Amino acid sequence: MMKAIITQKLIGMLIRHGMTVLGGYMVAGGYADEEIWQAITGGAVAAGGVALSFGEKALYPRFQ
């Protein structure tokens, strides 16, 4: 159980930091403004949360 919690936190951190880097690049390059990027990031974080929840409930029991 502890391994799953650590894995979720690590994956969550990687997703958030990756989105921050990508957002900074897109805003600096003029591809998106801050408001649009916040909406994209919010959607990606929500989708990532759903995917992690699905993975935990559907796939994790198979590997125990």
Give a yes or no: residue 24 inside a domain.
yes
User: Looking at residues 27-37, what average pLDDT do you find?
Assistant: 85
Q: Which domain holds residue 29?
A: 19-63
Give a yes or no: residue 5 inside a domain.
no
pTM of the full structure: 0.56
What local confidence, expressed as pLDDT, does residue 25 receive? Answer: 87
Give a yes or no: residue 44 inside a domain.
yes
What local confidence, expressed as pLDDT, does residue 60 receive? Answer: 64
- Residue 64: pLDDT band with limits 50, 70, 90: low
Q: In 3D, which of 58, 35, 54, 36 has the Cα closest to residue 46?
A: 54
Give a yes or no: residue 6 inside a domain.
no
Q: What domain count does the chain have?
A: 1
Does the pLDDT value for residue 1 go beyond 60?
Answer: no
Under DSSP, is residue 30 helix (H, G, I), strand (E, B) or coil? coil
